[in-house]
Structure 1
Amino acid sequence: MISVEAVKERLNAGDFKGALKRAKLIPDSVKRLIALSLVMREFPREEVLSEMLETVESVSGTAERAVAYSIIGRAFYILEREKGGSFYFDKAVSLAKTIPTPMLRGEVLAGIARNLVLADRYTDAYLLFSEAVDEIQRSRGLSSKALETLLRVARLIEKSADEIPNEKALAFYRLARDIYDSLFFKLQAKHLSDKIALIEDVLKHGRTVVTELIEKGDVERAIEVMRFLPLEDRAVEMLHLSYWLFLHERPYLARKVFNDALDLILVGKFQPRDGEIFSIALKMLKIGRLEEPLVLAGVIRDIALSSELLGEVALAYFRKDPVKARSIAEGIRDESVKRKVLNALEGDGDVGHEQGLPLTGGGEGDRALPEDG
């Protein structure tokens, strides 16, 4: 029997047709809809939405259909069709509120709120989560099952907060903390209180807090709170973190953080300061990284700095790959730097950035410095 996991396997392989085909073969309507939503997330296409709309009509049960409608609403938002998304989210909430049992009603509202978070409707999600908690607490004295449901909702709220990329996450963390506290889960409540305090510190003092975490080697918390920095600062701190990870021999994570930072720079409507990128690139060169500084040279707008960095990269590449070194040198836009690097590569000077070859300026050691730090 085809399962959701089988669909995930095809998605991991980048196989849209295979994933969609397997999703459509799942007999259970709810599981089929979940599988289709995974396909939609990876391959946002009208074709997938059509399958989801067809599937939702076969979902039985008020609670199940209410959550299913919210999954459809989220799919519309993925396709940037907000009107359709709002329609299905409203339909989901209206249906959920017809459920007679407060505990089940609250649990379903929480499921809808979760999908609102995934649709980036954070304020609406918070209000619905709060309403869900109130509903479940009505049943709190009736059974241990109500307490278990409340705990599951608290964890769902916390998980949602972890995925919100701005200060709105704080309200979600506080709500989850208060639930843990009311249930006497003191360790969980304290963990969230500490996280809230750290986020507030980052929002107040900015990059300084993240830099200190990186320097102390507290990588997990640094990654966790970077999302609360402005995009420009976040990108630079991610590059700093990438360097730290390479330095401490964690190349897989270092490359991932580097690529995420680069994506942020390339798609964001901002430009980090050239001098900061230049400085980080040189640090990476000093620990033997070559590809990353080469990529960063293409991000730097200042021709002089970009040319100097490319020159350093070409010289560093020489012993490993002379052909590539020359190719890099040929791409240097500052003609003066290009001539000096090519001369060095051809044997007219010491080759290697570690020798301190002056790439810019007229005199020995007259190296260009970043104008903006």
Structure 2
Amino acid sequence: MAEGVERYLSKGDYKGALRSALGIDNPIKRLVALTEILTAFPRDEVLANMLDTLESISATPERALAYSLLGRALYTLDRDRDAEAYFEKAIELANSIDSPRIRGEALAGIARNLVLSDRYKDALRLFREAVELLQASRGLSSAATSSLIRIARLIEKSADEIPNQIAIEFYELARDVYTSIFFKLQAKHLEDKIELIRDVLKRGKAAVEELLEKGEVELAIEMMRFLPLESRAISMLELAYWLFLHEQPRLGRRVFDDAFEIIFVGKFRPTDVELERIARRFLRIGFLEEPLIIAGVVRDDKKASELLGEIALSYARWGDKAKARSIAEGIRDESVKNRVLKALEGEEDVGHEQGLPLTGGGEERGAVPEDD
């Protein structure tokens, strides 16, 4: 995606992003940028510009890819029937290409857009077809080998983004391609990753914790997506806590936000007891914003109120009396609210009155690590 478009999207500037996208000369790159805009801002105006761009494309491979981009965009708008029709057009057009190499590349591009539309099985089938075409034409052209390398990387990249065990089949396909063209290091890397995924699928959280103990933080984050849905969100919150504790706040925030995306949109969510426990662990190391967010998804009013009370008193200890009072005023349980407000009026011993642990002694919140 064009840098200008990405910058506007990060600021939530829809008009700026659209203006920047429409200034892209290459029609395929323009379509990709418009697809990203449509994902963030589902507007008919964006779709209309995509259709206009499609009409300007005449070459068959590019037009096939463009159809698949339209299909991906329509899935974003929950227009599944229209999306499927565009993907069918894309595949039909790609299969009309005479050159096996170019046909294979076009099918791989369509497969990539199927992955981004969460149609993993259809994408895998199409990637396999593309690989077979290119393997068959390798003896005829060195360009086919170059295409195979690009497609293997595309398959691997797709596997990295798939949040369930079908990713293994993508990794296996990419590994087989690397093996066939004697890219031994890449093939070995994927074989190791496949074994690790199988271990995580078998042992769950324990396998991820072992990676953390070895200092393989990025790999632990990557493997989180293979944990059972029932435990994934709380495991990610625990990992976020570990990262904050070990002074990796940027990674910690990323994992924390991903965990809450699962909580908000997934069918499974942690229990109130699990949420309370991790919120209090954050409080003990002096992080207050995260427990406040966690308290917002605790379902039991009494438990949520007690937790908010502790957070309010923690803000007061850190000298933010206005924030503390604002949180206290929002507590739903009246008895807890009155007790916390009374404690806030005493100010000097707000922590001791509630029996709360005093948080760290550093100048910055979270400066003092916890033993565990």
Same fold (TM over 0.5): yes
144, 147, 157: which is aligned to 1:149? 147
Any idea what SS the aligned residue of 1:141 has? helix
Partners of 2:206 and 2:270 in 1: CA distance: 16
Partners of 1:335 and 1:224 in 2: CA distance: 43
Structure 1, residues 334-354: CA drift from partner, whole Å, max 9, x if none? 455444434433339832269
Partners of 1:217 and 1:96 in 2: CA distance: 45
Partners of 1:38 and 1:301 in 2: CA distance: 35
282, 287, 290: which is aligned to 1:289? 287
- The farther-off stretch of 218-227 and 18-27 is 18-27
User: Which residue identity is paired with 1:324?
Assistant: K
- Structure 1: gaps (5+ residues): 359-373
2:15 aligned with 1:17: yes
Tell me the matched-pair count.
356
Give yes or no for contact 2:233–2:269 (8 Å, CA) kept in 1: no
**Counterparts in 2 of 1:298 and 1:215: CA distance versus 1, 3 Å:** farther
Q: Which residue of 1 aligns with 2:206?
A: 208
**Counterparts in 2 of 1:354 and 1:249: CA distance versus 1, 3 Å:** farther
Q: Which residue of 2 aligns with 1:341?
A: 340
Superposed, which structure 2 residues align to 1:100-139 within 5 Å?
Answer: 100-139=98-137
182, 185, 198: which is aligned to 2:183? 185
243, 246, 262: which is aligned to 2:244? 246
**Counterparts in 2 of 1:64 and 1:232: CA distance versus 1, 3 Å:** same
Partners of 1:30 and 1:278 in 2: CA distance: 48
TM-score (norm 1): 0.88
Q: Which residue of 2 aligns with 1:76?
A: 74
**Counterparts in 2 of 1:13 and 1:316: CA distance versus 1, 3 Å:** closer
Partners of 2:178 and 2:163 in 1: CA distance: 23
Give yes or no for contact 1:103–1:138 (8 Å, CA) kept in 2: no
TM-score (norm 2): 0.88
Q: Which residue of 2 aligns with 1:278?
A: 276
Any idea what SS the aligned residue of 2:305 has? helix
Aligned-residue offset at 1:152: 0.6
Give yes or no for contact 2:343–2:353 (8 Å, CA) kept in 1: no
Partners of 1:6 and 1:341 in 2: CA distance: 49
Partners of 1:80 and 1:289 in 2: CA distance: 39
**Counterparts in 2 of 1:153 and 1:240: CA distance versus 1, 3 Å:** same
2:331 aligned with 1:332: yes
Structure 1, residues 286-309: CA drift from partner, whole Å, max 9, x if none? 111111112212222233432332
Partners of 1:138 and 1:20 in 2: CA distance: 42
Superposed, which structure 2 residues align to 1:284-363 within 5 Å?
Answer: 284-319=282-317, 320-347=319-346, 350-352=349-351, 356-357=355-356
User: Which residue identity is paired with 1:325?
Assistant: A
Any idea what SS the aligned residue of 2:270 has? coil
Aligned-residue offset at 1:193: 1.1
Give yes or no for contact 1:315–1:353 (8 Å, CA) kept in 2: no
Partners of 1:34 and 1:336 in 2: CA distance: 55
Superposed, which structure 2 residues align to 1:11-50 within 5 Å?
Answer: 11-50=9-48
Partners of 1:336 and 1:295 in 2: CA distance: 22
Give yes or no for contact 1:307–1:333 (8 Å, CA) kept in 2: yes
Give yes or no for contact 1:102–1:139 (8 Å, CA) kept in 2: yes
Partners of 2:226 and 2:79 in 1: CA distance: 27
Aligned-residue offset at 1:243: 0.6
Partners of 1:348 and 1:164 in 2: CA distance: 50
Structure 1, residues 179-225: CA drift from partner, whole Å, max 9, x if none? 11111211111111111111112222222222333344322112111
User: Which residue identity is paired with 2:320?
Assistant: D
**Counterparts in 2 of 1:343 and 1:27: CA distance versus 1, 3 Å:** closer
User: Which residue identity is paired with 2:72?
Assistant: R
Any idea what SS the aligned residue of 1:227 has? helix
Partners of 1:200 and 1:264 in 2: CA distance: 22
165, 168, 190: which is aligned to 2:166? 168
Aligned-residue offset at 1:95: 1.1
Any idea what SS the aligned residue of 2:191 has? helix
Q: Which residue of 1 aligns with 2:369?
A: none
**Counterparts in 2 of 1:130 and 1:343: CA distance versus 1, 3 Å:** same
Any idea what SS the aligned residue of 2:350 has? coil
- The farther-off stretch of 121-130 and 58-67 is 58-67
**Counterparts in 2 of 1:350 and 1:31: CA distance versus 1, 3 Å:** closer
Give yes or no for contact 1:343–1:349 (8 Å, CA) kept in 2: no
- Structure 2: gaps (5+ residues): 358-372
